[in-house]
Amino acid sequence: MIMADPLLSFLILISSLIQLTNANPRKEVVMLNCKTTTSQNLTQFLQNYEASGGMVKSEVSRNLFGYGSAGVPPNNVYLMAQCHGDLPIADCITCFQESYDFLSAACTPGIGGRVFLDGCFIRAENYSFYNDPSSYSEAFCGTSKGKEDEEQKKFNEVVKQLLDYLVEKTPKNGGFGTMSKKASRKTEVHALAICWKLTDNVACHTCLDNAVKSILRCLPLTEARIATDNCFLRYSDYPFLNPSKDSRIRSSFVPLTSYVLVISIGCMVAISLGVLAGSILHARVHKWQSKVKGIDMDSLLSKRCLTFEYSTLEKATNFFSEMNKLGEGASSIVFKACLADGREVAVKRLFISYKSRSDEIYNELYIVTQAQHKNLVRFLGCCLTNDVTLFVYEYLPLTSLDNFLFDPERKKELDWKKRFKIITGIAEEDKSLTHTPISGTLGYMAPEYMADGQINEKLDVYSFGVLVLEIISSIQNSKFKQDESLDTLVTTAWKHFKSNKVMEIIDEFLEIDDMECVTRVIHVGLLCTQRSPSLRPTMTKVIKMLTQKDMHLPTPSKPPFVCNYNELSLPSVSCKNPSEPSCSCSPHYSDCEA
């Protein structure tokens, strides 16, 4: 192995050359928006700006994204920054530092603002803006002239194709997407879309969809950008993208240096192929096995969450003190925690470790990272070691639906219109998600998941059905107990529904003006909680069932755990074979109006 060291050195040299060739931190300032309000104590404000900047830079250097805060009102600072997903870490840090310094220099003595660079974004405020609805939007159409008629027409078509593609792709790809396509022999169009990581999938899609409508007004100009509080969109005939797994860059002109690099790399690969073949094969097999077992979580973690140090969470929970305990379940304990930057969070400590139960942790992690929308507590990050598994969530004291729904007095604030809005709102959000966190919670678990841990696309539908029945009855399924039988809220609701006694299901304090609407919602809830996953409707169909008066509903089959019950038929329902899943036999209902 005399050649080993020279070979390694040469490969490192080639790798360095490639990185230098591709390096493009894209630190040109595109847009600036400064606050006009000034700080009461500029010295203190700048100190807090520096402190929060240090926290965010540390996170950005690991995740291409970070947010944090420092100080107390009125001179406190909340900061968020994010790099575009095709930037290498080194370029991201360069872009962040440029934006951070520029924001301070340009906006002082104002109390914050926004800076959009071509490769990153930063925002600073003196209040917590992380969950604010988007209001800021600004477009920049560039100055490049259009092309000849036919060529311009083709260019416009390709721009629209790429942007429409990115609107659909980006929310499903962790909030980032790029695409390139030839418009003519001489012209190629490049496009990039990104949503900020605190934006959920639904808001990401909405933001990009609106951005496309605005940016298309820039045509026939050959370059345009639009920036908002939730997303950033750009197209250009200039190849500004960094090569990445998300890019489809095809160039019609290859520089001489690229040929040299390709030939050099090809030679080294040919020389090393025999030595590396076995290692590559082994690595691929191991990677495939790791993915099956749920061990390789890097890509999952990088999309929607941050990694926390164990020591940070240990200190934040006062060493997991009993005084900080918020609640305890069969498989976890939840603690209230206060991070160094003053943020209050909830830390869920699982009783299973990453080392011993990696597959279960992967399943739960996959679920919570996919579920980010306005009706759910936000998942912030995690800490995974061989011995400890910690999930970090947004802490929202006294804002849970439970605090209203199951409180004897506060539930009276939720009339039927409000409850129906909650139900349809959750359904609308859930139709675009893969999973919701309640699907892994006791009382909301589907029977197939409880029995043997089966994961399928209908787990959430079952959980949604349970939630519907809870909202209507103000009774918690996991705590339901009429007598010493094994009845649950779901089984009892089904029996009353089959016996045409739906009033027994409804909260006694709830005033009902439209009984047909309530009955229809109960009917939908029972369809969602059927024992067989194949019989449960999709969330898209659930929305139609809730809102379309002419849509017939099939008779709900038995939910899980129903024993010794004489099934009764619903009145005014006729069906030749009620046992068939496709049988559409149901009474008509009038519109359910929120």
With tokens 């279960």, the residue in question is 360
Tokens representing residue 144 in the block: 């490049």
Residue given tokens 């969330």 in the structure block: 539
SS3 state at 211: helix
Is the bond preceding 220 in cis, omega lying within 30 degrees of 0?
A: yes
Containing H/E element for 169? helix 149-169
- Cα–Cα dist 424/398, whole Å: 22
The amino acid at 473: S
Residue 371, both tokens: 């579920």
CA distance 522 to 503: 11
In 3-state terms the chain splits into helix, strand, coil percentages (rounded to 5) of 45, 15, 40
Neighbours of 448 (CB within 10 A): 18
- CA angle 71/76/80 to nearest 5° reads 105
Residues 543, 533: Cα–Cα separation, whole Å? 18
315 marked as part of a ligand binding site: no
DSSP-derived letter for residue 38 is B
Instruction: Determine whether 411 is exposed, middle or buried from the number of CB atoms within 10 Å of its CB (0-12, 13-18, 19+).
Output: middle
What are the helix (H) ranges across 372-514? 402-405, 416-430, 447-452, 459-473, 489-498
Tokens at 160, concatenated: 């629209």
Burial state string for 313-341 with b = 16 or more CB within 10 A and e = fewer than 16: bbebbeebeeebeeeeeeebbbbbbebeb
**What is residue 268's three-state secondary structure?**
helix
Could you tell me how far CA 345 lies from the centroid of its own chain?
Answer: 18
Q: Which of 315, 308, 439, 296 has the alpha carbon at shortest distance from 354?
A: 296
Q: Give per-residue burial for 176-203: e unless 16+ CB within 10 Å, then b.
A: bbbbbbebbeebbbbbbbbbbbbbbbbb
Q: What are phi and psi for residue 366, nearest 5 degrees?
A: -60, -40
Known binding-site residues for ATP equal 348
Q: Which residues are annotated as a binding site?
A: 348
